[in-house]
Amino acid sequence: MENITAESASFPQEFLEYLPENPIKEPLKHGWILMNQQYTKFQIATWGSLIVHEFVYFAACLPAFLFQFFPFMRRFKIQADKPETAEKQWKCLKLILFNHFFIQLPLIAGTYVFTEMFGIPYGWDEMPTWYNLALRVFGCAVIEDTWHYFLHYALHDGRIYKHIHKIHHHFQAPFGLTAEYAHPLETLILGFGFFLGILIFANHLVLLWVWVTIRLFETIDVHSGYDVPYLNVLHLIPFYAGSRFHDFHHKNFNGNYSSTFKWWDIIFGTDSQYKDYQAKLKAEEKKLK
């Protein structure tokens, strides 16, 4: 396999403007160049992408996993009457690892073929500006959310649900690890929405890694089972669904089909049961005051 050389390592200066000086900029630059010097495109695209996925997935799961061991965090547990157990977590982990290495890894192995077929660069010199990258990631999120809404809705059809999507709903009170706890077919069906944005917007390998990072943090957040106020920066995103919105989907089984944003549920009225439930909770709170 052809190695990417350091000769193409002059990074556009406008991308560096948003970074602090040397403490971040230089390690980022040298690290990226070194990676391209030491490894082939195939190794970077396949094993690098796998490492990014596994590291981000379990790192994003860690905070909510630790919350269960701190009594003062129980107040933020959405379904407090359904705590996590070691048995549930082990059952979940086994299927997660199967999906990661027997379903997702073969798909990840296609990253090299995709980047070669469409001429997607790996080098430092071709890195997009931060705002270009941010807009492309947002485009990926909009496309994935749209795909997820309609296909997720379809998977709740009674003729299909019991064969595929029922596995994901095994945990009525979700926790972070359950984000990718799913039937292999569901992993492929809903996962295709993730790749649609890449097919349209990819202009550098880094987009794949940034997009998978954002998407994993988002899906693990909404499955975390906790709603910790003020600390979650994702709630600064307009129309962001969040953990309470998706937790209700697992509790109720119907409605709230979106993955990231609320707008499709709002447009089609599939958030009506959630709104009624929230109104009921507020009414009960007023009675107690």
77 bridge partner residues? 226
**Distance (Å, whole) CA 206 – CA 212:** 10
pLDDT of residue 5: 43
Residue 178: predicted pLDDT: 96
Q: Domain limits of the chain?
A: 11-288
From 25, 7, 18, 36, select the one nearest 205 (Cα to Cα). Answer: 36
Q: What is the pLDDT of residue 28?
A: 82
Residue closest to 149 by CA, chosen among 239, 41, 278: 239
Q: Which residues, 6+ apart, have CB-to-CB distance to 159 below 8 Å? A: none
Which pLDDT score, from 0 to 100, does residue 1 have? 44
| Mean pLDDT across 43-51 | 97
pLDDT value, residue 4: 45
SS3 33: helix
Q: What pLDDT does 3 receive?
A: 46
pLDDT band for 233, please (50, 70, 90 cuts): confident
Q: What is the pLDDT of residues 61-119, one digit of tens each?
A: 999 999 999 999 999 999 999 988 999 999 999 999 999 999 999 999 999 999 999 99
Q: Give pLDDT tens digits for 179-226.
A: 999 999 999 999 999 999 999 999 999 999 999 999 999 999 999 999
pLDDT of residue 288: 73
What does pTM read for this prediction? 0.88
Burial zone of 7 (CB within 10 Å; 0-12 exposed, 13-18 middle, 19+ buried): exposed
| Integer-rounded Cα radius of gyration of the chain | 21
Q: 29 pLDDT exceeds 90? A: no
Report pLDDT for 23: 56
